[in-house]
Amino acid sequence: MTHVTCGGFTDPRPATEEIQEICDEVKGQVEERTKKKYEIFRALQYRSQVVEGTNYLIKIHAGGFSYLHVMVFEALPCYGGEKSVTGVQQGHTSQDDLKPFGM
């Protein structure tokens, strides 16, 4: 059973097709922030937090031994539903825990 603290992030979960679609949509924003191009950009794991919209914390395999932790905010549909990258951490490994940052 997934444990959720009221207002907090969910426990880590395996990435879904929907999470991969979010990653695909914000890949350009991540590349702009990191000044790198990624041939591989595969979501592995994620956590979410419901606010006035949804915050996602996603572990992404970016090729080789490169892993990113990316924070994405998805606005509510009534506010356009846009997705924006709010933070990127580079230099992670496949074993690093997903911990919220930059909030």
pTM summary value: 0.91
Q: How far apart are CA 61 and CA 45, in angstroms?
A: 10
Q: Which helix (H) or strand (E) holds 27?
A: helix 17-34
Q: What is the mean pLDDT of residues 93-100?
A: 95
Place of tokens 């997903």: 98
Q: How far apart are CA 2 and CA 13, in angstroms?
A: 9
Q: At 6, list the tokens.
A: 């009221």
Q: What are the extents of the domains in the chain?
A: 13-92
pLDDT digits (tens, 9 = 90+) for 8-53: 999 999 999 999 999 999 999 999 999 999 999 999 999 999 999 9
Choosing among 3.40.710.10, 3.10.450.10, 3.30.1490.20, 3.40.50.10860, the CATH entry for 13-92 is 3.10.450.10
